[in-house]
Amino acid sequence: MAAAVRCRLFGLVDVGDAALWRRAPCSLHVGCRKKSTQYLNRPNLPKLAYKRTKGRNPGVLFLPGFASTMKADKALALEEFCKSLGHSFVRFDYTGCGESGGNFSECTIGQWKKDVLSLLDELTEGPQILVGSSLGGWLMLLAAIARPERVVALVGIATGADYLVTAFRQLPLETKKEIEEKDEWYLPNKQKEAGFYKIPYSFIKEAENHCVLHSTIPITCPVRLIHGMEDEHIPWQISLKVAENLLGSDVDLILRKQGQHRMAEKDDVKLIVYTIDDLIDKLSTLA
């Protein structure tokens, strides 16, 4: 049985800039120095675009959300923070996204899981902290299950475990049949007015093979799940379900009362950075 979950509820969090950045010369403003994009070439697979900051371990690997890229504000802020601490950091684009190769419409959860594992295996060494945003939170769980010897902590931001599959199953029967026949699901993009994602039915069927919420999640490393209670895209209850299903006992669920899905406001980013900083201290003490 999974251990009890510690839950913290935050309104406006003031962690104190001086304390938060006690080891950091940079502020939350990003873009101190532009890094050139590099590419990971893989036999018979699309090349992956990435940017890497070398440093000591534990390193941090950032996993973007659905259809997002490594240029997200959270990724840039975490890069500057890790650079200021001297810890390694990697951000990247999934296959079919951003500057990486491949066709987005042909991608699957399994393909993107392979992308994460390729980055872990080829570009990082030693213990790593995975930070997953939205769909990246689902992928971080899959990667931690596949590489338990490498992944020493997880930070989920609006974790979207199983979300697309769950959302599809909640549709009316007639709608599901229509999507199956046309092999197209027009999922509203609540981040943009009048926008939508065109998702093949085959994507949903493949994603069912990677669902994690149906049973205990065999992850025992420290896990921190941060979720906004005003998230209109992925309900915060999904993070609660993840926390309940995790096998490990060192699990915190942190709820932002006024937090939105992107968790990109200044105080949101401060909380994310503070959480990672705390994990680095914790892991360094245990080493």
What are the catalytic residues?
134, 231, 261
Task: Supply 51's token pair.
Answer: 């940017």
Task: Supply 66's token pair.
Answer: 């659905």
Residue 30's Cβ-side half-sphere holds a number of Cα atoms within 13 Å equal to 19
Per DSSP, helices labelled H in 89-153 are: 109-123, 135-146
Q: Encode 184-221: b = buried (16+ Cβ within 10 Å), e = exposed.
A: ebeeeeeeeeeeeeebbbebbebbeebbbbeeebebeb
The helix (run of H) or strand (run of E) holding residue 267 is helix 266-286
The bridge status of strand 56-63 relative to strand 128-133 is parallel
